[in-house]
Amino acid sequence: METSVIYCGDNVDVLAKYVPDNSVDLIYIDPPFNSNRKYEVFWGEAVERRAFEDRDGDAVAYLEWMRPRLRELYRVLKPTGSFYVHCDWHVSHYLKVELDQRLFGFNNFQNEIVWPRTNAHSDSKRFGRVHDVILFYTKGRKFTFNRQYTRYTESQIAEHYRHVEPETRRTYRLTDLSAAKSGGDVEYEWKGMRPPKGRYWAYSKSKIAQFDVDNRIYYTKNGRPFLKQYWDEMQHKGNLIQDVWSDIGYSHGSSASRLGYPHTEAP
């Protein structure tokens, strides 16, 4: 298979012909949503025209159309690979059952990610449907996953990193040096203090001693130690991303992110 190439055609045929088994690390698909619409796709200057119906709102027909494509995608995914499928309320539940039972297995389902694509929608006699869903699967229990963060806002920085070290003018926050679970050399006394009842030190005695030498420990009036976490060492991180992706921005009719299929309502 050649890389840096766009393959135009039916994806199930392209996968079967060009993509070898267990060769892809990451797959993201954004298939039609079974929304009872007709779509037309134009590649380049209308060199190739491919049209299909969005399965006329029939969940059974839709799954029959999707099934061979999902099988091919599963085939080419590496054992350590990850698979993301973007869908909405029309078929997300049907696709999850399909992926659970026929391909990945329930235990390899990792997340249902919610993307609020708009802040309001006027739906008659029902709650406004304002979000899409991304189903995240892995092919096995050992897979690559890099934790992602959003940057702290200015107000969060001011709230959490409100201490200033006089000597260096570095801002920092105080974090607990105790932990709920034990592990190794963590039940000692440090400068006359022990962790609160039922807790343990979060670091070994030698590690805390090094923190103390580096002036990274703040002691309260009663001698309780806390670790200094400096903002300039943490700014590459922020809020750990959860399963609601609300920082992408809303999608609307004039949005530059709307690069999907031009469509008209099916008769």
The neighbour count for residue 179, using CB atoms within 10 Å, is 14
Round to whole Å and give the CA distance between 56 and 36. 4
- Same-domain status, 76 and 171: no
Strands in the chain per DSSP E: 24-29, 37-43, 48-53, 77-87, 109-116, 131-138, 149-151, 163-164, 171-176, 178-179, 200-201, 217-219, 225-230, 238-240, 263-265
- Same-domain status, 202 and 217: yes
Round to whole Å and give the CA distance between 24 and 47. 29
pLDDT computed for residue 106 by the predictor: 96
The residue written with tokens 């000692």 in the block is 188
Nearest to 80 by CA among 19, 12, 160, 139: 139
Specify the number of domains making up the chain: 2
Phi, psi at residue 73, to the nearest 5°? -65, -40
- Same-domain status, 179 and 225: yes
Is the pLDDT at 55 greater than 50? The verdict is no
| Two structure tokens written together for 239 | 């809020």
- Same-domain status, 25 and 123: yes
pLDDT in tens, 42-54: 444 443 344 444 4
- Same-domain status, 156 and 143: no
- Same-domain status, 92 and 169: no
pLDDT computed for residue 236 by the predictor: 73
Nearest to 95 by CA among 78, 83, 77: 83
Round to whole Å and give the CA distance between 266 and 247. 33
- Same-domain status, 103 and 178: no
Is the pLDDT at 265 greater than 90? The verdict is no
- Same-domain status, 131 and 200: no
Cβ atoms of 62 and 98 closer than 8 Å: no
Return the higher-pLDDT residue of 43 and 140. Answer: 140
| The Cα angle at residue 96 between residues 129 and 92, in degrees rounded to 5 | 20
- Same-domain status, 104 and 188: no
Nearest to 163 by CA among 228, 106, 212: 228
pLDDT computed for residue 248 by the predictor: 77
Q: Cα separations (Å) of 200 from 88, 221, 228? A: 46, 21, 18
User: Is residue 4 in a domain?
Assistant: no
- Same-domain status, 88 and 27: yes
Domain around 155: 151-239
Please, what is the average pLDDT of the chain?
85
* pLDDT (mean) for 109-116: 96
| Two structure tokens written together for 262 | 């031009």
pLDDT in tens, 201-258: 999 999 999 999 999 999 999 999 999 999 988 877 788 899 999 887 766 555 555 5
| Max CA separation in the chain (angstroms) | 80
pLDDT in tens, 172-202: 999 999 998 877 778 899 999 999 998 999 9
The residue written with tokens 């991303």 in the block is 241
pLDDT computed for residue 169 by the predictor: 93
Confidence of residue 38 (pLDDT cuts 50, 70, 90): low
pTM of the model: 0.71
- Same-domain status, 261 and 171: no
Is the pLDDT at 79 greater than 50? The verdict is yes
Is the pLDDT at 121 greater than 60? The verdict is yes
